[in-house]
Amino acid sequence: MLKTTKPKIIVMSGYGLNCEEETKFAFDLVGGAADIVHINDLIATPKMLLAYQILVFPGGFSYGDDTGSGKAYANKFKNHLARELEEFLSRDTLAIGICNGFQIMTNLGILPGALAHNKKGRYIDRWVDLEVENSKSPWLKGIKKISLPIAHGEGRYVNGKENLKRNKQIAFTYVKGEIAKFQNIEYNPNGAEQDIAGVLSYDGRVLGMMPHPERAMFAHQNPMWYKNKKASTEGAGLQIFKNAVKYF
């Protein structure tokens, strides 16, 4: 029998990130081996990053979103771990930023664009319908449409001058699906340009997304669950984590 090794995932924590436990749970649930590591511990032992195949910046409110969402955490990472991050991404690795993690990644410059305040200036906490624009990304294999929750105050994606569609860097777009139609609510609640909810870089190996797949691990978390009670108990968000583990 061949001996298999579980892919190792490093889930960053510290200073207001607060979704690390459920993100670790999701990766462990689908066969990965995830560790939660405080940014100060990684700074103290930067070579630790060599032991991992997947890097995760989870959701939360790093540094209380002071100076702008994700900026302070990104600056701390950039000032102490820029070389190690570059080396990590140069290998055949995967990385994901979820919500505040997406904001951190754009501030690090490893994903294009930026996240601005929601168009109505209010925090939004609800579910959205999404369409996958690039299923060739290791993160998005086998996914065409998906519904996930969002929870953010600065989630309006602004593109700048890059042609993301031509470069196949759009991961998800907000669409008017089952949830938006049933609840008669805006399908793109934050006003993101081109309806963009997530983007890619490094040939699809790096994904940034505002929705939270770790909050959609189980079918009953979806507000439309009551319509499909006999369907799988597995939530749609789990496929993203499965894809990442399967890649290795």
d(CA 131, CA 43) in angstroms, rounded, equals 37
CA nearest to 96, candidates 246, 216, 211: 211
35-38 contacts: CB < 8 A, separation 24 or more?
35/8, 35/9, 35/10, 35/11, 36/11, 37/10, 37/11, 37/12, 37/13, 38/12, 38/13, 38/14
Where on the phi/psi map is residue 52: left (φ > 0), alpha (ψ -120 to 50), or beta?
A: beta
Please indicate whether residue 214 is annotated as part of the active site.
yes
Q: Angle, nearest 10°, between helix axes 238-247 and 20-29?
A: 60
Please indicate whether residue 19 is annotated as part of the active site.
no
d(CA 9, CA 54) in angstroms, rounded, equals 5
Place of tokens 């496929």: 239
Helix (H, G, I), strand (E, B) or coil at 41: helix
d(CA 76, CA 244) in angstroms, rounded, equals 26
Among residues 20, 133, 154, 214, which one is catalytic? Answer: 214
Please indicate whether residue 220 is annotated as part of the active site.
no
Among residues 20, 152, 154, 212, which one is catalytic? Answer: 212
Among residues 19, 20, 99, 133, which one is catalytic? Answer: 99
Positions annotated as catalytic residues are 99, 212, 214
